[in-house]
Amino acid sequence: MKSVLVPFLCLVAMLVVTVSAIGPKPLTCEQTQFLVKPCLDFVTDKTTAPSISCCQGLNEVIVLSPTKDERLFICKCLKEEGSQIPNLDLGRTKSLPKLCNLSKTLDCDSL
């Protein structure tokens, strides 16, 4: 039993290290759009405050985009999508992280 258990535990340890090193896949543009879609009413002046689902989606986008390259991709995606939204209020868009009390931001202007 012991002779089988040790190699098995080594295999499990190698898999854990491999999976940890790979990490989650970067967000696609479609996933990003889906996550921030609840923010549309706020950034187009239809509501006075961002919804909880807006803040949760924005936080998820920020958390899932830890590298500069990933943030640049997300910013490009959001800018392209935003250019097609009539009545988009950029001031409201930039205020979302603060209004959502997020500790991290996705400051596309500084990238």
Count of domains observed in the chain: 1
Domain with residue 43: its CATH number is 1.10.110.10
Instruction: Give the confidence band of 22 by pLDDT, cuts at 50, 70, 90.
Output: low
Does 12 fall in a domain? no
The answer to whether residue 17 sits within a structural domain is: no
101 CB contacts (<8 Å, ≥6 apart)?
Answer: 55
Q: State pTM to two decimals.
A: 0.75
Q: Average pLDDT, stretch 20-26?
A: 66
13 within a domain of the structure (yes/no) = no
Instruction: Flag whether 22 is in a domain.
Output: no
Which domain, by its residues, includes 50? 27-102
Flag whether pLDDT at 2 surpasses 90.
Answer: no
Which residue, 81, 110, 93, is CA-closest to 39?
93
Q: Is residue 38 part of a domain?
A: yes
Residues 69-102: tens digit of each pLDDT: 999 999 999 999 999 999 999 999 999 999 999 9
In-domain check, residue 83: yes
Mean of per-residue pLDDT scores for the chain: 85
- Tell which wins on pLDDT, 54 or 25: 54
Residue 90 inside a domain? The answer is yes
